[in-house]
Amino acid sequence: MIDNPYYTPEFHGDYDVVSIGRLDLEEGGSIPDCHLAFATFGTLNDAKDNAILIPTWFSGTHQIWRDVYIGPDHALNPEEYFIVVVDQIGSGLSTSPHNAAGPNADIAMSRFPKVRIGDDVVAQERLLRKHFGIQTLALVVGGSMGAQQTYEWAVRFPNKVLRAAMIAGTAQNTPHDFLFTKSLIEAITSDPGYAEGEYKSNTDVVAGLTRHAGIWAVMGFSTEFWKQEVWRALEFDSKEAFLAGFLEPYFTAMDPNDLLAQAWKWQRGDVARHTGGDLVAALGRITAKTFVMPISEDMFFPVRDAEAEAKHIPNSELRVIDDILGHLALFGVAPTYMQQIDQNLRELMAIPA
């Protein structure tokens, strides 16, 4: 266990942490006492039919959803819905390599087991059912790794997911995306300070985390983001200042093993595991009203990959989000981004389920 002040309410606002007990894992082994961190917004109605689940993306938590996506002016309106944002396993807030202690002490740091997207979804289903008594979800929506989890929900629990919105993510991770993530992993593990996962502080790995941020700079934004100097909208006056003032501190605050646990999971997102490798059959199981929402300039979840999958989802529509930022449009910086998200989610919620 490592003390990292980033993974606290000071940085992430209020959230709850609940044990869902022992979680046996698809790859073998288990998390003896799996804790899930989550934040809720709004009130669950008596019929328990107004619940929305949001799983989180790589390196992100409920915080970005609270600050950017959720509010009375948004489609994700807490005055109408009961919204649960669950921080993924390995996020640093739920059970993760850096915070494994007590009953989880044996899986701390380099001994953390491999966790798959499916493990997260099983854990989330248990949380919703046992802690809140929620049996069906009016909507599951997520971006990037959150989209991977949304696909997993829609394929694994089709009867529980009435609507699904996958932003900037795919049902089956692509080989290119696997290689991109591999480069992220290697940027961290190649740092001598990483010490095979047994560093004493994330600051020991600052060089690797900084290189990791540098690769995000190349793939996370679009070529045009840099050319148009869109970072000026964030009040930086050079791309170097933007890296040093935003992208690098964002990642260097985080725990290396936590990021690696998420990255390994991301690399292997694949709903076809339910159907012996048959992706079309897996997507055919989805009964949710589904909006597939890639971002136009995404360098590693490109529109055509999302479109190829959407074709095989029975009740789906492709809704491309136009944003020059690329994948990290997810941060909601462009003034036109949330308008598109809200418009699409409002239309999706208006479809009778």
CA angle 190, 195, 198 (to 5 degrees): 135
Closer to its own copies by Cβ: residue 134 or 306? 306
Cα–Cα dist 275/150, whole Å = 17
Q: Is residue 174 close enough to count as binding its own copies by CB under 8 A?
A: yes
Work out the angle at residue 317's Cα, subtended by the Cα atoms of residues 313 and 322, and round it to the nearest 5 degrees: 130
Which of 224, 237, 278, 322 lies at the binding interface for its own copies (CB under 8 A)? 224
Measured distance CA(282)–CA(155) in Å, rounded: 6
298 is catalytic: yes
Q: Residue 327 catalytic? A: yes
Residue 98 falls in the annotated catalytic set? no
Least distance in Å: CB of 134 to its own copies? Answer: 37
191-210 positions binding its own copies, by CB under 8 A: 191-192, 207-208
Distance of closest approach, residue 26 Cβ to its own copies, in angstroms:
22
User: Is residue 339 within the footprint of its own copies (CB under 8 A)?
Assistant: no
Q: Does 218 bind its own copies (CB under 8 A)?
A: yes
* 100, 61 contact by CB (below 8 A): no
The answer to whether 320 contacts its own copies (rule: CB under 8 A) is no
Q: Which of 39, 109, 166, 299 binds its own copies (CB under 8 A)?
A: 299
List, as one string, the DSSP characters of 237-264.
SSHHHHIIIIIHHHHHTS-HHHHHHHHH
Tokens 């009867």: give the residue.
159
Query: CB-wise, 104 or 267, nearer to its own copies?
Result: 267
Among 80, 186, 342, 347, binds its own copies (CB under 8 A): 186
What is the chain's percent helix, strand, coil content, to nearest 5?
50, 15, 40
From 22, 129, 176, 311, residue interacting with its own copies (rule: CB under 8 A): 176
Question: What's the CA gap between 302 and 299, in Å, rounded?
Answer: 6
**Choosing from 94, 144, 222, 316, which is the catalytic residue?**
144
Task: Classify residue 144 as left (phi > 0), alpha (psi -120 to 50) or beta.
Answer: left
Among 84, 168, 187, 348, binds its own copies (CB under 8 A): 187
Q: Please list every residue from 237 through 256 that binds its own copies, using CB under 8 A.
A: 239
| Minimum CB distance to its own copies, residue 18 (Å) | 38
Torsion sign (Cα): 317, 216, 190, 145: negative
120 binds its own copies (CB under 8 A): no
- Interaction of residue 175 with its own copies, rule CB under 8 A: yes
CA-wise closest residue to 67 among 246, 328, 332: 332
Q: How far is the CB of 336 from its own copies (least distance, A)?
A: 20
- Measured in degrees and rounded to the nearest 5, phi and psi for residue 301 equal -120, 65
Q: Which residues bind its own copies (CB under 8 A)?
A: 174-177, 179-180, 182-183, 186-187, 190-192, 207-208, 211, 214-215, 217-219, 221-227, 229, 239, 299-300, 302, 304-305
Which residues are the active-site residues? 144, 298, 327
